[in-house]
Amino acid sequence: MTLHDEQKGELIDRVLHEKNRRAWNAWSGQTLSAEERAAAAKSSKIDVAELEAWEDLSEEIKARFAAEYRRRNPEVGTVPDLPKATRLIDMSSTYFANTLVLDGFVFASEASFILANFMRTARFASATFMSATLFDSATFKLDALFDTTTFRRDVLFHSATFASDAMFEAATFVQAVWFAFVTFRQSAEFDYTTFTQDAVFVEATFSSNASFDSATFQQSASFSSATFKQDAWFASVTFTQDADFCAATFAQNAQFKSASFSGFAYFTGTRFGSSTEEPCIPDFSDCLFEKPTSFRQALFCDGYPDFSGAVLHDKTSFTARMKPTPNEIKRDKDLKGRTFWPQKTQQDPVSARESCATIRHVLTQQGLPEDAHFFFRREMHFAGLPSEDCAGLSSEGRSKERSFTERLPYLLFGWLSDFGYSIQRPLVWLLCLWAFGGAAFWGYLASCCVPAPPGVVERPMGTAMALSFSNLFPLFGFGRGALGEILDEMPPVLQVLSGAQTVLSLPLLFFLGLALRQRFRLR
């Protein structure tokens, strides 16, 4: 790799690099077939002649190898033969002190960088690995550049550490790739990357921004238990098969705009947001979900997912309640003290209301009225919010903001009946209305508040309560007869109160009936 010497300093000596690359590719290409050479030359962006030059350069390379070996190992007497190109390229536990430039290199046989330490920048841009490649537990202290690199066999980065930027933009993984338990401490770039087989990022940690924009996953993609501590970009990504984000954590921005999910998508137990200064509003706008997607037990800490323009499968599942059950907390202690949906949010209320309406529509199609009504209540809640309760309201949100008089019906709907769901609230309001009217009537009839008029006989409290009750249920005709005569004899203020009781009781009775219907309707 460094037959003509290593790179020195920060600046790359391109002439030196080209000499090293030509020598390496001539040696490596001797074992490849004509078809493999053509494919490798294309992916490495080199002239195929570099891979066919072994016969012409072999003597020169062997002589150079012997001279360099003696120079670098003066204490060794015998120079070993040049390694065979078919053997394992074993650089396990190698300490790379200088900048490593392998742009355009072709690795014909299996290469192992297990436990290797790259102390300076490691460049593999446009390199081609024809056989399995192992970077298990490798450490990249500075930038690791794998732009447009092609891996034609399995690749393992298991437990590797990228202390600086990791660039895999437009890379191609023809076989399976494992980034399980990898730590990315700085930016991780996988834009336009193609994963032809399974891509495994299980329990990977992205400490800075992670970008997979326009990447293609042709087989399953697993990000289960992965942690994205800053922005995660999956815009316009194509998931041809299953996409697994179970138990993953998105601390800040989770961007899936225009992504396409052709297989099953799993966001079960995924956590969006961490109550940091930067709220996490998952963006699934314009996404296409062709198969069922699971958002069961997903934690939306800061806001409701944006599904504007998205096409959701009819069997998409959501957890339609605020708090985890004791059994769920017992199985997962991290759920303790958390809620599946935020009580308060800085999100644009217009966007939140539309998202709740989208979810409600999906659950209604599934015949889940109880779950659908949960999101209906959240939808009505956002409809009654003033803009000042939501910081950062967009211009579109401000233009759609309702005045207080427009929001008042929603507020009353919530206060009096929890948007048609609570049986207790309208009953309590009816009880208060009945007690207040009964007390007023009893005060008059018992002459404790005003003197009884001539000819009026004081009646017990039961009569006052009965009169108040009859006002609440006029359809039953309780106000006819003696109770009606008593009401006719009362002062105008009490007659107005009686009429107000009747008027106010009607919406409360409607809300009560609405809640009873919701609770006991056929499922």
Span 344-380, pLDDT tens digits: 888 888 888 899 999 999 999 998 888 888 898 888 8
Residue 455, token pair as written in the block: 């000819």
Q: Which residues pair with 178 in a beta bridge?
A: 156, 200
Q: Which residues pair with 189 in a beta bridge?
A: 167, 211
- The tens digit of pLDDT for each residue in 243-255 reads 999 999 999 899 9
Using DSSP's 3-state secondary structure scheme, residue 7 falls into coil
User: Which pLDDT score, from 0 to 100, does residue 393 have?
Assistant: 43
Name the band, by pLDDT with cuts 50, 70 and 90, for residue 423: confident
User: Which pLDDT score, from 0 to 100, does residue 394 have?
Assistant: 47
Single-letter residue type at 374: F
What is the rounded CA–CA span in Å between residue 82 and residue 33?
Answer: 21
% pLDDT > 90, the chain: 56
What is the rounded CA–CA span in Å between residue 31 and residue 293?
Answer: 47
Please name the helix (run of DSSP H) or strand (run of DSSP E) that holds residue 294, with its range, or none: strand 293-295
User: Which pLDDT score, from 0 to 100, does residue 295 have?
Assistant: 96
- The tens digit of pLDDT for each residue in 442-474 reads 777 776 554 544 554 555 577 778 788 888 887
Name the band, by pLDDT with cuts 50, 70 and 90, for residue 511: confident
Instruction: State the average pLDDT for the chain.
Output: 87
Q: Say if residue 477's pLDDT is above 80.
A: no
Q: Say if residue 491's pLDDT is above 90.
A: no
Q: Say if residue 184's pLDDT is above 50.
A: yes
User: Which pLDDT score, from 0 to 100, does residue 389 have?
Assistant: 46
User: Which pLDDT score, from 0 to 100, does residue 421 have?
Assistant: 78
pLDDT (mean) for 76-96: 91
DSSP secondary structure string for all residues of 345-385: --S-HHHHHHHHHHHHHHHHHTT-HHHHHHHHHHHHHHHT-
User: Which pLDDT score, from 0 to 100, does residue 397 have?
Assistant: 45
User: Which pLDDT score, from 0 to 100, does residue 390 have?
Assistant: 46
What is the rounded CA–CA span in Å between residue 308 and residue 285?
Answer: 5
User: Which pLDDT score, from 0 to 100, does residue 183 have?
Assistant: 97
User: Which pLDDT score, from 0 to 100, does residue 463 have?
Assistant: 75
DSSP secondary structure string for all residues of 434-453: HHHHHHHHHHHHTTSSSPPP
Using DSSP's 3-state secondary structure scheme, residue 167 falls into strand
% pLDDT > 70, the chain: 90
Name the band, by pLDDT with cuts 50, 70 and 90, for residue 392: very low
Comparison of pLDDT for 136 and 80, the residue scoring more: 136
Q: Say if residue 391's pLDDT is above 70.
A: no
User: Which pLDDT score, from 0 to 100, does residue 481 have?
Assistant: 53
What is the rounded CA–CA span in Å between residue 264 and residue 276?
Answer: 30
Comparison of pLDDT for 488 and 309, the residue scoring more: 309
